[in-house]
Amino acid sequence: MSTTESTRPGDYPRRVLVAVSGLSPAILTETIYGLAHAEESERFIPTEVHLITTSTGKEQAVARLLGGEHPIFSQLMADYPALEGIVFNADNIHVISDENGQAIGDLTNQQSNEAAADFICNQIFDYTSDPQAAVHVSIAGGRKTMGFYVGYALSLFGRIQDRLSHVLVSHPYDLCKTFYYPTPNSQTAYYEMRGQDLATDFKDASVDLAAIPFVRITNLMKKSQYNKLSLVKGHISFSETIKFAEASALDTIQVEIDIDRWEMCINGITKSVNKNRKMGFLFLITFLESIERDGAVKIFDKTEFSKPWRENLLKWFALVSDPFAIDGKQVVILEEGMSYDQFSDGLSKARILVQENYGHEIREKLLPKPVGSVIRVEALNLTLSGIE
């Protein structure tokens, strides 16, 4: 069985642990310990660890996990040899930044929270895009919004092999600032309670992971939809992602097209159309107009020419540009009527236009594959504007 068919996270060659953290990076070592000591079916020794935090949080994580004469992270691997080889260094600590690339010190307002949402969404999108990787996300650290965003992002992009958890540390170790994981040997430490310094032994600590079930939305909608959720390549906006998921889930298709502004709005999401996509855009209008008028589009025979399709398409070309601003070979065919090949080319360009801007699910609802020689679009509501 290949890894892409497996549901066991530990079967994957790349095993990614992602955690969010504020000023308490101990959740990282606690989580790793918990994963390594989980039941065999859920045991997960990561090959790499990534921490998402603020600039202040990174300073704490570097100092407390990677700094000093005996770094805590190195000591964890030394204490438990099965963990040796996990990649975690300062480059794996990712600082949340705003839209201008400026590092954020804390999430204290709406803008910093939105920046955190977008940043976390992008990170989880990247990790879950690798079919050879299993991703485990911990929501234990950081501000509550950070935990929510990272969990929600995994729900949006997570696959069957990905997991979500929260780490649980037994009392009184949850009060001890120097606790990072249960040690294999006796190690006495002190914590304060009600003004008293009390002793405890790290060896006796208990760390468990609470698995959190979540809905994998990518199982409900094809993953390819998310390939171009944002018009900025490589950047996925959290709010845009939610809008696209909601728009794709609607049964109806509400389409508003403004010819004059070169804009289309599908299920509440407005996109500007690149004028290099002229043929696709105008064919889409002609196609949807035919659907709304006739209830369906019948694909004509390969040897047939359609004068109605020619006239309808050129009507829209005449509104925006020279109606014959296509190559010379197509002009001859257009004068005879639209050919099967030209219809197929226009339909393909329209599908590409919708795919690029709205993703797979909406494309399949708006421009579905024909059944026999007929294309039908269910529950279409079309509005055209910008026509003088």
Fold category of 3-170+206-218 in CATH: Rossmann fold (3.40.50)
> What is the token pair recorded at 194?
């009600």
Residue 130 has pLDDT above 90, yes or no: yes
Cα–Cα separations (whole angstroms), residue 118 to 194, 236, 238: 41, 7, 5
Residue 357 has pLDDT above 70, yes or no: yes
Q: How confident is the model at residue 229 (pLDDT cuts 50, 70, 90)?
A: very low
- Condensed to tens digits (0 to 9), the pLDDT of residues 166-203 reads 999 999 998 888 999 999 999 988 888 777 788 899 99
Show Cβ contacts of residue 111 under 8 Å, excluding neighbours closer than 6 positions: 98
* Domain coordinates in residue numbering, the chain: 3-170+206-218, 252-385
pLDDT, average across residues 237-249: 72
pLDDT, average across residues 148-159: 91
| Cβ pair 379, 253 in contact under 8 A | yes
Cα–Cα separations (whole angstroms), residue 276 to 86, 186, 191, 239, 378: 48, 70, 67, 28, 29
Show Cβ contacts of residue 185 under 8 Å, excluding neighbours closer than 6 positions: 79, 203
pLDDT of residue 29: 96
Residue 354 has pLDDT above 70, yes or no: yes
CA atoms within 13 A on the CB side of 239: 6
Q: How confident is the model at residue 225 (pLDDT cuts 50, 70, 90)?
A: very low
| Cβ pair 136, 9 in contact under 8 A | yes
Residue 232 has pLDDT above 60, yes or no: no
**Selected residue with higher pLDDT from 222 and 14:** 14
Distance CA 13, CA 47 (A): 8
- Condensed to tens digits (0 to 9), the pLDDT of residues 34-56 reads 999 998 888 999 999 999 999 99
> What is the token pair recorded at 196?
């008293």
Distance CA 320, CA 279 (A): 11
pLDDT of residue 334: 58
- Condensed to tens digits (0 to 9), the pLDDT of residues 94-123 reads 999 887 888 888 887 888 888 888 899 889
User: For residue 34, which of 148, 182, 188, 187 has the smallest C-alpha distance?
Assistant: 182
Distance CA 192, CA 238 (A): 41
Distance between start and end Cα atoms, the chain: 62
* For the chain, percent of residues with pLDDT exceeding 90: 43
Distance CA 11, CA 2 (A): 9
Residue 7 has pLDDT above 70, yes or no: yes
Residue 88 has pLDDT above 90, yes or no: yes
Site of tokens 């030209």: 342
Q: Is the peptide bond before 182 cis (omega within 30 degrees of 0)?
A: no
SS (H, E, C) 35-53: HHCCCHHHCCCCCEEEEEE
pLDDT of residue 321: 62
Residue 325 has pLDDT above 60, yes or no: no
Residue 227 has pLDDT above 50, yes or no: no
* For the chain, percent of residues with pLDDT exceeding 70: 89
Residue 1 has pLDDT above 70, yes or no: no
**Selected residue with higher pLDDT from 217 and 283:** 283
Mean pLDDT of the chain: 84
